[in-house]
Structure 1
Amino acid sequence: MKNFPNYSPRPQKIIYRGIGFPQNYITLCQDIAAAYCAAINWKITGNTSYADKSVEIMNAWSSTLTSIQGNNDIALAGGIYGCHFANVGEIMRSYKGNQPTRGSKRFYYSNWDLAQIGMAIAVGVLTDNREMFNEAIRVYKSDWYWGASSQFIYYLHPGYFGQTQEAGRDQGHNTLSVGLGGILCEMAWNQDVDLYGWDNNRFLAGAEYTAKVNYNFNGSGFADVPYITYANYYGNDVVQTMLGPGKGNNRPIWSLIYNHYENRMGISAPWSKKYAIAMRPEIGSGNINGGNGGSYDFLGFGTLLYQQDTISESCYPEGLTARVNGIKVDLNWWGPVYAINYSIQRSTTINGRFKTIKKKIGTQILTYTDSPGKGTFYYRVLTNGSTCAASNIAKAFIGTKLYFSLSFKNESNGSLPIDLSENKFSIKLFNGASVGVGIKGKQTALSLNGNMQYAELENNLLSELSDYSIATWLFCNGKLPKNARLFDFGAGPGRYIAFSMQISNGNWHFKSTVGGEFAETGIQGHGSLDCVNKWIHLAVTQLGENVTLYLNGTVAGQTNNLMSPFRIGNTTNNWLGRSQFYIRPYDRPYFRGLIDGFKIYEGALNQKQINELM
């Protein structure tokens, strides 16, 4: 810092990043780090010479840089460094000497998308561009790109350990993704948008998993963590069956995460805390990895910037969920920072007497599995016996009951679709979809002509279901178009659960995925569905890990390799007759025919119950 008055920026007209190009991006990294350090020093000391130097560096680059070029890594250069530079600009916003030299006219892995999302948030804040900011928030919350929350934190293991999208690639990129996620969550938090807590603290689940994978200080050794196979259909069709190499990748990212969850919110984040303490004080950029480009991925100084006083009181668990898994109920929750142990309570009515069913559960992995038998049950969790307030109440139902039932109601302006279940989910028809003659000769079926007609069911229709059943009659008019889907519940081409009467190889296929088309798992038949110009009954059930598909009441296929609907996440495209691949209508045609008696059940129907529907 003593040499700052003599520091000279080195702006470039074109920045290159990527093998095969004259890479010079390190000059941008170093100048951003210098501008950041100068900005922090000005904020702490009030010495305007630091502020002037930060402004000088920003102006040098804004008046010189015209392009970022290279291979696919330009997404990182533009995203990471653009985000960091925008944050420097935001720090310097209040400095009166901050005058720009000229006007402000200016896919594959999760870290790439997270870099772009972070840059959009940072630039949106700096330029007061609400539209840009809101779009970045939307993408993180609900999109199917790999930087979105539900893709970036790919799978929740027991105890809310969130397997990240890059955990099977290598730990350098894995920790990069978590660090970028922390930065964008903090920027959003400062604008009163809580991405940290989005989707039941999903980011914390990914951070804790990654911290546990990489922590190895004072001879502790690496902890064991669960891992499921990850696959996606982008790039080179990635399939990863185990944790990637490079454990022990120590980036200066943990102080931010630990201080938000434990000291702001009072939520226990034990592995992030361990990492933050072990790395105190977090160093600045350029001081790790030999000063290469990766050492500038994060500007550092987290201990200085984010350390907060420990929270004075934190007593109750939160985020309790109860997922049915066959005849069992899996409970998971977030704990408060001062918890010593936990007790589980259960009731048969939400306002009834809760009975303690398990005491003194430890704090290492916050999960418990109950076997209560059939019925409706309500659960809550307490800390340290019953001295603190209880958690939220989570409901579980073991058995079978109607969840959704498509029917039609005659009105003065025609027949309108309705849900006959107690849930009364919304149904909308598009492009002339209408009521047709069903299997019993009455006006009970949904009629679709294959020309962009479809029905849209309510958002997040299946997002709370684990064990379930889907049953329906269908009648296909004429020759089967390949890749048309009877139903498709998802959030774009990356996440869905769907059934096709005939895919490209000529077979029918029931499938689900959270990694796109290449990562589909499911049940595939031998030949197309025998539904052309005739009625056929289709049913699918899931009980625990066991999925069974029935045709006309007979078992036609089974698997134990399908994700439960709740793991598909929030779904905005819940369609009958339309595919998630709507962006390519020429090879993803619409369903042409009739759908009658379409029902969804909570719980898995047995074969006898399915035959009773026929």
Structure 2
Amino acid sequence: MRRTPLLAVVASLLTGALAAPAAHSAPSAFAHPGVTVSQAQLDFARGKVLAGVQPWKGAFDQMTASKYADLNRTPKPRATVECGSYSNPDYGCTDERQDAIAAYTDALAWYITRDARYAQKAIQIMDAWSATITSHTNSNAPLQTGWAGSSWPKAAEIIKYTYPGGWAGQNRFAAMLRDVYLPVVMKGSNSNGNWELSMTEAAVGISVFLEDKASYDTAMARFRTRAAAYVYLASDGDLPKTVPSQNLNTRDKIVSYWQGQSTFVTGLTQETCRDLTHTGYGISAISHIAETSRIQGQDLYGTDVGERLRQALGFQAKYQLGAAVPDWLCGGSLKLGLGPVTEVGYNALHNRRGVAMTNTEALTLANRPAGTDNLFVAWETLTHGDNPN
């Protein structure tokens, strides 16, 4: 038997280590519809609504009674959407986000009712924007692109893959996502963590719709790094994990980035001491990306992503429910307002995986039916409430 020289073996091992392929997350074939909500989840929700079962029937009624389901809605596209800090100035910012939510709302309403008018309204909205928009500008442009870019592919997936009436403008819409949205959200952000998480949610969803495996892999890799740097676990060590590009290389820099919080406990997020509203944006994006990943064949809920999501939900829910804030946490005062962001994570971790989530359960049930934050979260009691699929 021919023996390979020892030096050759060592050289081969070293070469293999240096040339090890990057981890790939994209499936061999993308599942559609597959951005945050799957075909099976849609079918489950539809069955419950048609049977008049709660909370799904109430959630559906809430959605169809909202302004987003108005069949007389007129889209308001702009070539350039200009968004400053906190959307000031607001030149098309609210219009774009809400039209994107409306398109998704109409897509859901179409699927459940099979009323073609809803599908046609979703198409009208998407076509109006794809025929018009060319860019986002001003300081909030990356975040705005992420928010709207998170809703558009959810709507487009349902219409493209379930509406038999056809969508003549789908290629132009795909070009809009590819040319106007994807290059921006793929750049990432070194701002507060909810920015990059929301942008990455958009990048993941757009990549699914475009079936762009390279962008999907890049976005998912960034997500794993950012999620670990957004939610602290005691297993991380004395200090939270960081994103290398931010150069947070001293304790003082990390404390400053974590809104002045110097005591780190499991479930704390980078923005908890800012307010729970922005924290909710980050948590929601984590849950949406994890759910899309699961639909696409890679279940992250059993990894540190799932544990961070579980702990972040429970920690924030405790205080949103009214628990006293200790002096060591954010100086003894929290700005509440977590938003309708618990359904996806609660369903995945508690209902599917059997993990106890007492505080999150209490908040989820108290908030049903969960509505919309008017930014990028919408109707998740309907789509994910106690959904086994």
Q: Cα offset for 1:38? A: 0.7
Which amino acid letter does the alignment assign opposite residue 75 of structure 2? P
Report how far residue 102 of structure 1 moved: 5.3
**Larger relative strand fraction:** 1
1:222 aligns with 2:323: yes
Question: How many residue pairs get matched?
Answer: 276
The residue type equivalent to 1:80 in the other structure is: W
* Aligned partner (choices 84, 98, 113) of residue 151 of structure 2: 84
Shift of the 87–102 alpha-carbon distance from structure 1 to 2, 3 Å rule, reads closer
Distance 2:202 2:168 in 1: 22
CA distance in 2, matches of 1:310, 1:21: 43
Amino acid at match of 1:265: R
Q: Which runs of 5+ in 1 are unaligned?
A: 216-220, 229-240, 286-294, 312-614
Q: What CA deviation, in whole Å up to 9, does each residue of 1:213-269 have, x standing for no partner?
A: 222xxxxx32446967xxxxxxxxxxxx5466412x141111222111111111111
Who is 1:447 aligned against? none
Q: Which residue of 2 aligns with 1:218?
A: none
Secondary structure of 1:133's match? helix
Deviations 1:64-103 (A, max 9, x none): 00010111x2221011110111111112221242222654
Alignment of 1:17-36 (within 5 A): 17-19=83-85, 21-36=89-104
Equivalent residue runs for 1:65-464 within 5 Å: 65-71=133-139, 73-94=140-161, 95-96=163-164, 97-100=166-169, 103=172, 104-105=174-175, 106=179, 107-141=190-224, 143=225, 148-156=226-234, 161-199=266-304, 201-215=307-321, 221-224=322-325, 242=331, 245-247=334-336, 249-283=337-371, 285=372, 295-308=373-386
- Inter-partner Cα distance in structure 2 for 1:225 and 1:180: 28
Change (3 A) 1:101 1:279: closer
> Is the 8 Å Cα contact of residues 213 and 223 (structure 1) preserved in structure 2?
yes
Equivalents in 2 of 1:301, 1:244: separation in Å? 30
| Residue matched to 2:240 | none
Query: In structure 2, do the counterparts of structure 1 residues 123 and 225 end up closer, same or farther at CA, with 3 Å as the change threshold?
Result: farther
Counterpart of 2:355 in structure 1: which amino acid?
I
SS in structure 1 at match of 2:232: strand
Which range moves more in the overlay, 53-62 or 18-27? 18-27
Distance in 2 between residues matched to 1:15 and 1:243, nearest whole Å: 39
Structure 2: unaligned runs, 5 residues or longer: 1-63, 180-189, 237-264
SS of 2:82 mapped into structure 1: strand
Q: Give the aligned partner of residue 12 of structure 1.
A: 78
Residue in 1 that maps onto 2:49: none
**Equivalent residue of 1:136, what SS?**
helix
Deviations 1:117-156 (A, max 9, x none): 1011100111111111111111122x3xxxx121011343
Q: Larger C-alpha radius of gyration, 1 or 2?
A: 1
Give the 3 Å change call, closer, same or farther, for CA 82–225 of structure 1 in structure 2. farther
* Structure-2 residue corresponding to 1:232: none
Distance in 2 of aligned mates of 1:102 and 1:131: 20
Preserved CA contact (<8 Å) 2:326 2:332: no
How well do the aligned residues superpose, as a CA RMSD in angstroms?
2.6
8 Å Cα contact 1:252/1:282 also seen in 2? yes
Q: Percent identity?
A: 25
Structure-2 change in CA distance of 1:251 and 1:157 (3 Å) = farther
Partner of 2:259: none
TM-score by length of 1: 0.42
CA distance in 1, matches of 2:148, 2:269: 23
Query: Which digits, 9 at most, give the CA deviation of each residue in 1:153-184, with x for residues without a partner?
Result: 134399x8321111121222112211221111
Which residue of the partner structure matches residue 335 of structure 1? none
Mapped partners of 1:63, 1:310: distance in 2: 38
Q: Structure 2: how far apart are the matches of 1:310 and 1:41?
A: 21
Deviation at 1:28, TM superposition (A): 0.8
Higher helix share: 2
Corresponding position of 2:260? none
What is the distance in 2 between the residues matched to 1:183 and 1:98? 26
**TM-aligned CA distance change 1:91 to 1:223, over 3 Å:** farther
Cα pair distance change 1:227/1:186, threshold 3 Å = farther
Q: State TM-score, norm by structure 2.
A: 0.65
